[in-house]
Amino acid sequence: MSVDVVILAAGQGTRMRSRLPKVLQPLAGRPMLAHVMDMAAGLDGARLHVVYGHGGATVPAAFSDMGVNWVEQAEQLGTGHAVEQAMPGIEDGSTVLVLYGDVPLVKAKTAASLIAAGTRGVALLTVRMSDPAGYGRIVRDGEGRIARIVEQKDAGPEELAIDEVNTGLLAAPAASLRNWISRLENSNAQGEFYLTDVVGLAVDDGVPVTAVQARDPEEVLGVNDKIQLAEAEAVVRRRRAEALMRQGATVA
C-alpha cells in the first residue's frame, strides 16, 4: 500500500515565547518535530512531506540528512491550505495521513490503524476529553454517524457540550482528499481553510467517515507552550523508563 505522510509544521508558536520555531523546541534532547518524523518514517512504505512556514529555512536545515519532501507554506491560510501545498507531490493512488509537528507523542500503532481505516474513506483520530476546550467537536447524526466537525470558535452551546473531539489527525485516499481540498471555503470565524471541513464534504459525497479512538489522551497532547512541552517531556521520559523496565532494568 502506498502511503504519504503530510506533517504540518508551519505554525508560529507565539505562546512558546521563543525565537526558535515551535517544532524545533527541544523535547528529550531532540527537536520536537524529529519525534513525529521518526514515528512516521517507521510506517510501512511511508513517504514524508513536511509543510513548513514560520522559521523559514531553519526548519528543513535542521533535518538535512533525512529523505523528506519539504514544502513551504508561504502564507498561513489554514490547515486545509497547508495540506494543499503538499498534494502536488502525492499520487492519486496513495493514502494520505496528516500529522502535526506539535503533536509529538502519537504511537506508530495508532497511526497505522488510522491509515488502514483511511483507505476506505475519511478516518479521523478522535478522543473523549473531560475538558474539551480549544478542540473541534465531533458532531454525529441521529444514527451516530459522524456528520461534521465544528471548531471551538464556530461552535454553539450544544456543540460546546460535546466531549468527543477531533485531534486533527486524519487519513484519506489521496484522489478524494485532493478533490475535497479544492472545494474548501474560508467563510468561518478565522477566515481560514480548515482541513476539518473535508469531513462535511465527504458526507455530502456519500463517502464513509469513521472514527479511530485514541486509547490514551496523552498521545494527542498538543504542545503550544513551555508548560505543555514539559508535560510531553515527562511522557517521553516515562515511556523510555517503562521500555527499559520491560527489558529487566531497574529504574529508580
pLDDT of residue 171: 99
Residue 184: is its pLDDT beyond 90? Answer: yes
pLDDT of residue 146: 94
Q: Rounded distance, CA 193 to CA 230, Å? A: 31
Residue 65: is its pLDDT beyond 80? Answer: no
Q: Rounded distance, CA 39 to CA 104, Å? A: 9
Letter string b/e over residues 101-128, b meaning 16 or more CB atoms within 10 A of that residue's CB? bbbbbbeeebbbbbbebbeebbbbbbbe
CATH of domain 3-246: 3.90.550.10
Which of 15, 128, 145, 240 does the annotation list as catalytic?
Answer: 15
**Do β-strands 164-173 and 136-140 pair in parallel, antiparallel, or remain unpaired?**
antiparallel
pLDDT digits (tens, 9 = 90+) for 114-148: 999 999 899 999 999 999 998 999 999 999 999 99
> Residue 242 contacts by C-beta under 8 Å, 6 or more apart in sequence?
none
Residue 251: is its pLDDT beyond 80? Answer: yes
Domain range list for the chain: 3-246
Residue 10: is its pLDDT beyond 80? Answer: yes
Mean pLDDT (the chain, rounded):
95
CA dihedral 8, 14, 16, 19 (to 10 degrees): 90
3-state secondary structure the chain: CCEEEEEEECCCCHHHCCCCCHHHCEECCEEHHHHHHHHHHCCCCEEEEEEEECECCHHHHCCCCCCCEEEECCCCCCHHHHHHHHHHHCCCCCEEEEEECCCCCCCHHHHHHHHHHHCCCEEEEEEECCCCCCCEEEEECCCCCEEEEECHHHCCHHHHCCCEEEEEEEEEEHHHHHHHHHCCCCCCCCCCCCHHHHHHHHHHCCCCEEEEECCCHHHHCCCCCHHHHHHHHHHHHHHHHHHHHHCCCCCC
pLDDT digits (tens, 9 = 90+) for 206-236: 999 999 999 889 999 999 999 999 999 999 9
Residue 252: is its pLDDT beyond 90? Answer: no
* Mean pLDDT along residues 45-73: 93
Residue 67: is its pLDDT beyond 80? Answer: yes
pLDDT of residue 96: 99
pLDDT of residue 55: 85
Confidence tier at 53 by pLDDT (50, 70, 90)? very high
pLDDT digits (tens, 9 = 90+) for 82-107: 999 999 999 999 999 999 999 999 99
pLDDT of residue 72: 97
To the query of whether residue 15 is one of the catalytic residues in this protein, the response is yes
Task: Count other C-beta atoms under 10 Å from residue 192's C-beta.
Answer: 18
